[in-house]
Amino acid sequence: MKRFVWLCGIMLASHIAGCASLNTSTGTAKEQIDYWLDRQEYGKALAVVTDSKNSPSPAIPNLQETQEKINAHIASYEQQVIAKAEKAAATNDWGTAFDVYRDALSRVPDSTPLQQGERQLIQRHAEHLQSLELERLIAKGEWTFKDLETSKVAEANKPNSWLGRYLLNRKIANAHDLGLELAEYGKSALERKDLPLAKRILPLALNLSNTTEIRALNTQLQEALKPEARKEEEARTPNEPPRIAEKPLPAPRARAEVQTKEQTKEQAREERPATHGQEQKDTKRLMDEFRKACQEKNFVEAQQLMLQLKKQGVDTQEFQQLRKQLASDVATHVKHLIKIGVVHYRQQQYDEALNVWKQAQALDPTNEQLTARIKRVTRVTEKLQNLRTKGGAPQ
């Protein structure tokens, strides 16, 4: 009995499904096209037109008009799909954007605009993913550098802790590998002339791994930044013609010269508002860069920008606050670097100690303690070099 009920249920379901599709299978070609257009099944609508064209007695009287009607629907649908996918991608909803294209291409498989749009979306997604990976790598590098500094300072008071030394060496090795990885991105940024990105990556890579290659890349970066710095300086400093000693002029000519100078001054006063506006824009840009450099703890760049702002006479409350905070952060960072150098010095890693102390001296050139330490380690390295040259010390 149950089996009989089950069979009746299947037959009833089949009958209902057949009735549901009766309109598309038995209706006229025009009714079938309208049916598929209502459901945005444009590929199936085109298939009906194609079947009608191949039929010996076409069921559609105005094939050309019907074809144009379907194409108009498709063009409008393509624009809607592309706009919807773009909106989803703009809000980082990449899954929805890809789903929109997949669904649309199932309805219009041969659509060239949709195929191109999907390819462009795939490329943009890959670029966005690469950008996120780079940001993650930079954040990891910044954290690793701070963690390494802290670990070196912590181990400075534990010279006999073999476990602590082992763990510190592992952190140094990991930082070295991370620095090399970042350097590759920085090198690529230099090759693309993407100097802002290179400025973010290469100094960080040098902090993590002080290799010859990374130092060379940072030197290239500084050389590449020089023309930009000169242009900024020229834009801030008005061009003045060289002064030439002139002979005293006769009285009439002198009066004419005075009149000319007065006219020049008047013209300068008229042009001053435009120049002043440009100076304000330059000052705002410098202030934005100074604020960013302070936030990112890019101390060398922050100090350079601070000097430029001081030359322009900037004395706002925000500038003074950032200046005081920068001085405090630099002092703390210099103390950390000194301690790290002491750790290297005690472990007879004199080259590393010298490099670290020179980094600190670049931030605090008037620090007499640093100057004395650098002189001391320089004397030690010179003596060791002399001994190696004479063959009196093991390599």
Is 223 a residue whose pLDDT tops 70? Answer: yes
pLDDT of residue 394: 47
Contact (CB, 8 A) for 66 and 49: yes
DSSP string, 75-126: HHHHHHHHHHHHHHHHTT-HHHHHHHHHHHHHHSTT-HHHHHHHHHHHHHHH
pLDDT of residue 9: 58
Tens-place pLDDT, residues 265-286: 555 555 555 456 677 888 888 8
Q: Which CATH architecture has domain 279-395?
A: Alpha Horseshoe (1.25)
**Mean pLDDT score, 172-197:** 91
Tens-place pLDDT, residues 282-309: 888 888 888 888 887 778 888 888 888 8
**Mean pLDDT score, 17-46:** 68
Q: 24: Cβ–Cβ under 8 A, 6 or more apart, which residues?
A: 32, 35, 36
Going by pLDDT thresholds of 50, 70 and 90, the confidence category of residue 374 is very high
Going by pLDDT thresholds of 50, 70 and 90, the confidence category of residue 255 is low
pLDDT of residue 343: 82
**Mean pLDDT score, 79-102:** 91
**Which residue's structure tokens are 């890579």?**
205
